[in-house]
Structure 1
Amino acid sequence: MLQLKKVHHIAIICSNYERSKKFYTEILGLQIIREVYREERDSYKLDLAIGDNYVIELFSFPNPPKRTSRPEACGLRHLAFEVEDIQETHNLCIKNNIKAETIRIDKFTNKKFFFSNDPDNLPIEFYEK
C-alpha cells in the first residue's frame, strides 16, 4: 500500500487567466506563492495557497478544450473549501456577482453548504466548518 501524506495540490486550467486569477485571489482570497510565464508554452502557472498550505496550480493555455458536461462528467466533480461562516460566504458571492445556489444542509453531517462556480464553470462547494 502507498504511504500518502496529504493532497499536495490541485491543478486547474482556465480559459481566461486574468479573470481566473482575480477570482481565486481577490474573491476566494488565496495567496500567490509564485507566478511564472512560460514563453515556450504561451502559458502562465500561478501557485496559490490557503494560509501556509499550497493548494492550487492555476494554468493558462491557448484555446483549452471546454469541460465535457456538468455536473456528472467522469473526472473531478468539484472543489470544496471549508469556511467559518457559510451565510457570510454566500452573501459575499452574491455581492461579487457570483451565482450561488441556495444554502443546504448535509443530511449526514448536519453542516451547511452551497455550490457555486469558478469563471470556467468548475463547480466550487463552500462547506461550513
Structure 2
Amino acid sequence: MMLKLNRIHHIAIICSDYQKSKYFYSEILGLKIVREVYREARDSYKLDLEVGDLYQIELFSFPNPVPRPSRPEAAGLRHLAFEVNALDDAVFHITEFGIEVEPIRVDEFTGKRFTFFSDPDGLPLELYER
C-alpha cells in the first residue's frame, strides 16, 4: 500500500515578537484569524490564520526561541510562497507598510514572475504570480 498525502494541512511558524508577527500576517498580508489561544503552561500563544479557503498557518510564540539559521541557503525550510493574482499590486500593497521587497524576477521554467521579502523574524517569503 502506498502512502497517500491529500494536501498540506498547515504550516507552523515560531515568532520572536508575537504582537508584531500577528500584525504582519493578519493586517499586512491580510490572512484571516481563525482562532487565538494562550497556552499558560507553555507561556505561548497559538494563532491560526487562514490562507485562502484551503490552507492554514499556525503562528506560535515561545519564550526565547532559538534564532533561525542564516539565510538564504541554510538547511531546512527554504521559504514559504504565496500565490497572488497580480504581483505588481501585491508588491505595492506590502511596500506601503515599509516592507522591503527584492526586485521582481521571472521563473526560467514557468515564465511566471515572483519576488521575495521577509517576515518580522527574517523568514523568507515569496509572492508568486498566478
Question: What is the TM-score normalised by the length of structure 2?
Answer: 0.96
CA distance in 2, matches of 1:42, 1:74: 28
**Letter of the aligned partner of 2:112 in structure 1?**
K
CA distance in 1, matches of 2:5, 2:75: 24
Question: SS in structure 1 opposite 2:101?
Answer: coil
In the TM superposition, what are the counterparts of 1:88-103 in structure 2 within 5 Å? Answer: 88-103=89-104
Corresponding residue for residue 8 of structure 1: 9
Corresponding residue for residue 114 of structure 2: 113
**Letter of the aligned partner of 1:107 in structure 2?**
E
CA distance in 2, matches of 1:106, 1:97: 26
Question: SS in structure 2 opposite 1:114?
Answer: strand
CA distance in 1, matches of 2:32, 2:68: 26
Q: Percent identity?
A: 63
In the TM superposition, what are the counterparts of 1:117-128 in structure 2 within 5 Å? Answer: 117-128=118-129
Deviation track 1:14-39 (CA, whole Å, cap 9, x = no partner) reads 00000000000001111011100001
| Contact map agreement 2:13 2:58 (CA 8 A) in 1 | yes
CA distance in 2, matches of 1:89, 1:45: 27
Corresponding residue for residue 27 of structure 1: 28
**Letter of the aligned partner of 1:103 in structure 2?**
I
**Which structure 1 residue ranges, 5 or more long, are not aligned?**
none
Question: SS in structure 2 opposite 1:22?
Answer: helix
CA distance in 1, matches of 2:102, 2:123: 14
Deviation track 1:38-80 (CA, whole Å, cap 9, x = no partner) reads 0111000001102322420000000101011101111000000
CA distance in 2, matches of 1:33, 1:26: 14
In the TM superposition, what are the counterparts of 1:59-74 in structure 2 within 5 Å? Answer: 59-74=60-75
Corresponding residue for residue 81 of structure 1: 82
More deviation, 47-56/109-118 = 47-56
Question: SS in structure 2 opposite 1:109?
Answer: coil
In the TM superposition, what are the counterparts of 1:39-50 in structure 2 within 5 Å? Answer: 39-50=40-51
Shift of 1:96: 0.7
Question: What is the TM-score normalised by the length of structure 1?
Answer: 0.97
Corresponding residue for residue 55 of structure 1: 56
The number of equivalent residue pairs is 129
